[in-house]
Structure 1
Amino acid sequence: VGPEVRVGLLVERSVEWVVGMLAVLKAGGAFVPVDVTLPALRVGELLEESSVARVLTSQRFSGLVPNPHTPVILMDTDAVRIAKQPRTRPAKTVSPESMAYVLFTSGSTGKPKGVMVRHGGLANMARAVAEAHGVKPEDRVLQFASPGFDASVAEVFSTLAAGASVCLAPREALLPGGALEGTVKQFGATVATLTPTVLGQVEDGGLEGIRTLISAGEAVPPALVRKWSEGRRMLNGYGPTEVTVCASVAALTSERVTVGKPLGNVRLYVLDEGQRPVGVGVVGELYVGGAGLARGYLGQPGLTAERFIPDGFSGEAGSRLYRTGDLVRWGEDGQVEYVGRRDGQVKVRGMRLEVGEIEGVLGTHPGVKQAAVVAKKEATGTKLWAYVVGDVEAGALREWLRERLPEHMVPAMYGTLEALPLTSSGKVDRAKLPALTADATPRTHAFVPPTTELERSLTALWQEVLGVERVGLEDRFFDLGGNSLTLVQLHSRMRGLLKVEVPLAELFQYSSIAALVARVRDRSEPAEAPDEAAVEEEFAQRRARAGQRRKVRQQVEAPSQEDADE
């Protein structure tokens, strides 16, 4: 392994994962992190697209490597052989322009695109983020982001640059709710970066001990700032993968939420359509320059030239700017205020994606002639709606996508149309696509109504968590638009309202009410059916609170399709 050699890193969140990243960098190469929780087809696609020379993994995940000829190093079973390697510094020449890692983001063409991040960008980000977050050697920084998400790189390397400690926990210990709160307490974590979606599911007092809280990944509502900024420092981080994770940071107050000012050695420009600077308060597109810029997209020189353009403002030979696609404006105090997006890029649960990639995968199904995907904001969060022209059931489309895409890219609802509405220019007219609901999505089975007190109580709870009007005993949680985050909400409310003690892992397994009720009854201490009047009163109160939250969200959120990203 040496400069420009790419090494796949197929390891779950662990010490070995951190060691793997450092080892590849020390050897002069570039690591390609791949989340082991992705579908096998997606893992194979990312490893093939990046043309890795070898893969660092463990025995458990070695079967996910698609090419049998790719050299594989097993970090667990090969530990003895690895320990015998020389401890001397490798004689490798690495420059700031050398590739440090390749991280894949969603692509509008139906394929993910690999962002090639430079060693110089990584080094600058690590120091600048540690300074902006105020991380000290005595701090314990929670590592929360998925290993395939660029925020994980910032969490690890900024912490190590500051001489602080990285707190590593398995995925299930970081699920919002009691698991996350217990992990924070167990580690004594003092710094954490969480998305607003996650913060909205943490109970009051659940982040006790966190002195610096960074919100990132999506726009944070002022209500959450009021809740979590009291007694601690709260920051907002902004920056796409193409500028090495983070470009700017803002100190948050409930009166005003911005994406802030640039990090050290980073430049921000707000330009009009002619790429001319605009005045204070005038909306323009955000361009980022400076040390954090990536080299471009792996194997896509045309797209690289389109998004990374010459910098006509810096005066430095060869300097470039990255076109973010984010619409912003300057505030009077020199901070950047986010307005919206100018393209088809959206954010779901804090993760950036292109609806075109989902449409492309839908189009590969033999029963689909055309497809369109839109993102819609609902009371329970942003959800993806899919529309297809063709003869195929919603359940079949879900399974097709689940085998090929990450969970957050699988639409919650599906509609079948005779034809997609078009604009006068022949493009899909997304504004004319009909509204969808989980209730309107065709079921693959007959509706079975609840009959017992326990079934009715669980059905009512599902309806509240999922935001649907009708739930049958055979309906699957994920088929009604549920995801891992809403499942955590369900788990918490089941225990608090219905006094049902079911491990979270079993909710993934028993994903229909019929299966769940059978499982509860099989347990040694079956659940006690709640008082129906008490349940109705509690649900009425929760619906009222949900309505209040919805009004607040409508008042504070920008009228764009999606939010700012990190």
Structure 2
Amino acid sequence: MREHPDADAVRTADRTVSYREFDKLTQVFADDLGAEVPPGAFVGIEAARGLGAITAMIGALRARRPFVFLDSRDSVASNAEKVKVLGVRRLARSRDDGDVYLTDVPQAWCPDGTGPAYGLSAVEGELCYAIHTSGSTGEPKCVLVRPGPLAAVVRDHVERLSVGPDARTLQFARLTFDGCMTEILWTLTAGACLVVLDEARLAPGAELRDTLERFGITHLKTTPFALTATEPGGALRLRHVINGGGACRSAVVAKWSAVAALHNAYGATETTVCNLLTGPLDPARCRAGVPLGDLVGEGAYHLRDLGDGAAPAEAGGPVRRGEIVITGPAVAAGYLTGDGVRPFGPAGDGTEYRTGDVAELRDGELYFVERLDHQVKLRGYRLDLGEIENTVCRAEAVVEAVVTVESHDGTGGTGDDAPAGTGSNAPAGTGGNAPPGAGDDALVCYYLGAADPRELRRHLEGALDPYKVPSVLHRVEALPYTPNGKVDRDALRGLRTRGEDTASTPVQQVLTLVGRLTGIGDAVLDDNFYALGGDSASTLRLVTKLRELGWLDAGVRDVLRARDLRALTDQLPQRSV
């Protein structure tokens, strides 16, 4: 700021502010804040994208007042809870010209008045901000973050991403997501320009690409969804692109490393935004997976043993698998609850945070596998869905993959009702004329890309244990996402077709059902059901269909012994009554 006072600090769609002017704006707000909000008390900042919110954030840091972003698009109940727990009395709002002023918190957010914050006085040291988790694994939680560890993370990003006065960062993350902290602060602490635009200009795809080109963006931190959905153009000025908020795929590395240095980042809200960051990724070295990177900031990690036995050895040495546990100053102060501050760590001493993320350490590199709460038990086997997704994404022409557990009728399944030992493509042991309905859970893989499902199945059968191979391989044109950039797994279940009952002939109904049970939409009568992906559970569904079509004594053995689908459909006219 002192070295380049006339350089651009913040640019919006209709205004550019120099560092000299930005310094005055933030200092005026810091002075107002210091006069109206006592030390240690939280101030709310309206999370509207624009100059005002950035001014308020930096002004709060200058005044050494902790802050929380409040989004009017969130529910009244959600904002009321944040205001109540943190004891927020004053709210920073923006005028149309971008200036910031302090006002009372809206009455709707504090119908019973605002009392003192819950137990904040018990926190040792200064606080920087409060951020609320997305609630994807339960109720949203209020995390209290200290300024010192955040400063260390920002400093490392400035150095590793070569951020300088000639850089331009697109402020991509929503202000209620902690990813915004690093992109804002690495920019403004390095004398670079922060470009702040409305969300319509950030829509993944052609709109985002146009924004990157039009505003000359050099540094971008964004989600796997945005990187997957956006094709880089020839007019880009990007130097560094960071994947954050989700697993990075090999296809993304290949695409974006051709136009910029692509990095993968990993971190948790509870451990000060970012803990690991790679250097520029080499596509040739990411075909078997994308590493999480090296430590940034003031923290360390270890892998907690999951108690499920040693991981198998692979080429290059043994693989260690465990839950990522972050330790050191990077661990935030704790959760703020109605009962006060709850520090992290098994003893509540704030020394560590168990992330719930399973990772593998192989050849000195750490690789994300899956969240613990996404592990499933299917037919007696415990599975990491992320491990299967990673393997699918290694196949030729697969861009992204999501694996879920569903019943073969397309509804969500628990995975715990099926008998143990009946592997994915191993119907042996299900002989007899057992009635359908029991153990009908299946692994379903939705994938993005041009890969043929038959070739993809062959790839998976050569790379995975049989019980890990999905029963259904369903190619989609696009994956549904939640507002915070995560794959919407619940919405995926609505993408599978259900058309066998509309087929005009019994043969067409059988082929349509087989297509839905396996994902092979072009199944023909010469296909073997199990070569397509049929398993013990889908066998029962096929038996049910054969009985509905008139073959009343059809059984599992009939399907097992049929060399192809023709052998089954040819018997329909003879066996029907």
Instruction: Using structure 1 for the length normalisation, give the TM-score.
Output: 0.54
Report the residue type matching 2:330 in the other structure: G
Hey, what does 2:229 align to over in structure 1?
201
Does 33-42 or 263-272 show the bigger shift?
33-42
Report the residue type matching 2:356 in the other structure: G
Query: CA offset at residue 186 of structure 1?
Result: 2.3
Q: Distance in 2 between matches of 1:42 and 1:414?
A: 33
Say whether the 8 Å CA contact 1:325–1:342 is kept in structure 2: yes
Q: Check 1:101–1:210 CA distance in 2 against 1; reply closer, same or farther (3 A cut).
A: same
Query: CA offset at residue 195 of structure 1?
Result: 1.1
- The alignment status of 1:324 with 2:362, answered yes or no, reads no
Match of 1:282 among 315, 320, 343: 320
Where structure 2 has 5 or more consecutive residues not aligned to the other structure, the ranges are: 1-36, 97-102, 115-122, 312-316, 377-384, 393-397, 420-438, 446-474, 486-518, 521-577
Query: CA offset at residue 160 of structure 1?
Result: 1.6
SS of the aligned residue for 1:99 comes to coil
Hey, what does 2:31 align to over in structure 1?
none
Match of 1:12 among 48, 57, 62: 48
Hey, what does 1:308 align to over in structure 2?
345
Q: Distance in 2 between matches of 1:99 and 1:200?
A: 36
Q: Distance in 1 between matches of 2:208 and 2:95?
A: 28
Say whether the 8 Å CA contact 1:286–1:323 is kept in structure 2: yes
Does 61-70 or 2-11 show the bigger shift?
61-70
Hey, what does 2:110 align to over in structure 1?
67
Report the residue type matching 1:263 in the other structure: V
Mapping of residues 68-83 of structure 1, within 5 Å: none
Match of 2:58 among 22, 38, 41: 22
Hey, what does 1:87 align to over in structure 2?
none
Hey, what does 2:282 align to over in structure 1?
253
Query: CA offset at residue 421 of structure 1?
Result: 7.7
Q: Check 1:185–1:18 CA distance in 2 against 1; reply closer, same or farther (3 A cut).
A: same
Q: Check 1:247–1:483 CA distance in 2 against 1; reply closer, same or farther (3 A cut).
A: closer
Hey, what does 1:102 align to over in structure 2?
130
User: C-alpha offsets along residues 398-419 of structure 1, whole Å, 9 cap, x if unaligned?
Assistant: xxxxxxxxxxxxxxx99699x9
- The alignment status of 1:338 with 2:368, answered yes or no, reads yes
Q: Check 1:126–1:416 CA distance in 2 against 1; reply closer, same or farther (3 A cut).
A: closer
Q: Distance in 1 between matches of 2:137 and 2:358?
A: 22
Match of 1:296 among 313, 318, 334: 334
Does 116-125 or 105-114 show the bigger shift?
105-114
Say whether the 8 Å CA contact 1:2–1:27 is kept in structure 2: no
Q: Distance in 2 between matches of 1:242 and 1:11?
A: 21
Hey, what does 1:408 align to over in structure 2?
none
Q: Check 1:97–1:132 CA distance in 2 against 1; reply closer, same or farther (3 A cut).
A: farther
Q: Check 1:4–1:273 CA distance in 2 against 1; reply closer, same or farther (3 A cut).
A: farther
User: C-alpha offsets along residues 231-264 of structure 1, whole Å, 9 cap, x if unaligned?
Assistant: 4211001001111110010132222210011014
Does 104-113 or 187-196 show the bigger shift?
104-113
How many residues get paired? Answer: 361
Mapping of residues 391-430 of structure 1, within 5 Å: none
Q: Distance in 2 between matches of 1:140 and 1:345?
A: 40
Query: CA offset at residue 303 of structure 1?
Result: 9.2
SS of the aligned residue for 2:369 comes to strand
Report the residue type matching 1:320 in the other structure: T
Query: CA offset at residue 112 of structure 1?
Result: 1.2
Query: CA offset at residue 13 of structure 1?
Result: 1.2
User: C-alpha offsets along residues 34-71 of structure 1, whole Å, 9 cap, x if unaligned?
Assistant: 23433444333433343323222358997685225769
Q: Check 1:323–1:103 CA distance in 2 against 1; reply closer, same or farther (3 A cut).
A: same
User: C-alpha offsets along residues 434-480 of structure 1, whole Å, 9 cap, x if unaligned?
Assistant: 8999xxxxxxxxxxxxxxxxxxxxxxxxx97568xxxxxxxxxxxxx
Say whether the 8 Å CA contact 1:310–1:321 is kept in structure 2: no
Query: CA offset at residue 113 of structure 1?
Result: 0.4
Query: CA offset at residue 324 of structure 1?
Result: 1.0
Say whether the 8 Å CA contact 1:125–1:158 is kept in structure 2: no
Q: Distance in 2 between matches of 1:269 and 1:213?
A: 27
Match of 1:158 among 186, 203, 206: 186
Report the residue type matching 2:370 in the other structure: G
Query: CA offset at residue 296 of structure 1?
Result: 0.5
Report the residue type matching 2:328 in the other structure: G
Say whether the 8 Å CA contact 2:267–2:276 is kept in structure 1: yes
Report the residue type matching 1:3 in the other structure: P
- The alignment status of 1:136 with 2:164, answered yes or no, reads yes
Q: Distance in 2 between matches of 1:107 and 1:483?
A: 12
Match of 1:262 among 280, 285, 295: 295
Hey, what does 2:73 align to over in structure 1?
37
Query: CA offset at residue 202 of structure 1?
Result: 1.0
The answer to which structure, 1 or 2, has the higher relative contact order (CA under 8 A, 6+ apart) is 1
Report the residue type matching 1:330 in the other structure: L
Match of 1:236 among 248, 261, 264: 264
Q: Check 1:130–1:345 CA distance in 2 against 1; reply closer, same or farther (3 A cut).
A: farther
Q: Distance in 1 between matches of 2:338 and 2:183?
A: 28
Q: Check 1:194–1:420 CA distance in 2 against 1; reply closer, same or farther (3 A cut).
A: closer
Q: Distance in 2 between matches of 1:294 and 1:172?
A: 33
SS of the aligned residue for 2:291 comes to coil
Say whether the 8 Å CA contact 1:141–1:165 is kept in structure 2: yes
Say whether the 8 Å CA contact 1:30–1:100 is kept in structure 2: yes
SS of the aligned residue for 1:185 comes to helix
Does 35-44 or 112-121 show the bigger shift?
35-44
Hey, what does 1:173 align to over in structure 2?
201
Q: Check 1:19–1:64 CA distance in 2 against 1; reply closer, same or farther (3 A cut).
A: farther
Say whether the 8 Å CA contact 2:251–2:399 is kept in structure 1: no
Superposition CA RMSD, Å: 4.6
Q: Check 1:224–1:54 CA distance in 2 against 1; reply closer, same or farther (3 A cut).
A: same
Q: Distance in 2 between matches of 1:58 and 1:259?
A: 38
User: C-alpha offsets along residues 119-142 of structure 1, whole Å, 9 cap, x if unaligned?
Assistant: 112222221222222212221111
Q: Distance in 2 between matches of 1:96 and 1:157?
A: 24
SS of the aligned residue for 2:337 comes to coil
Hey, what does 1:390 align to over in structure 2?
none
Query: CA offset at residue 308 of structure 1?
Result: 2.3
Q: Distance in 1 between matches of 2:193 and 2:329?
A: 26
Query: CA offset at residue 271 of structure 1?
Result: 2.7
Query: CA offset at residue 290 of structure 1?
Result: 2.5
Mapping of residues 467-546 of structure 1, within 5 Å: none
Q: Distance in 2 between matches of 1:58 and 1:66?
A: 18
Q: Distance in 2 between matches of 1:226 and 1:436?
A: 26
Hey, what does 1:187 align to over in structure 2?
215
Report the residue type matching 1:268 in the other structure: Y
Say whether the 8 Å CA contact 1:130–1:158 is kept in structure 2: yes
Hey, what does 1:84 align to over in structure 2?
none
Say whether the 8 Å CA contact 1:181–1:207 is kept in structure 2: no
Hey, what does 1:125 align to over in structure 2?
153
- The alignment status of 1:271 with 2:304, answered yes or no, reads yes
Q: Check 1:335–1:97 CA distance in 2 against 1; reply closer, same or farther (3 A cut).
A: farther
Q: Check 1:205–1:420 CA distance in 2 against 1; reply closer, same or farther (3 A cut).
A: closer
Greater Cα radius of gyration, structure 1 or 2: 2
Q: Check 1:386–1:327 CA distance in 2 against 1; reply closer, same or farther (3 A cut).
A: closer
Say whether the 8 Å CA contact 1:237–1:259 is kept in structure 2: yes
SS of the aligned residue for 1:343 comes to helix
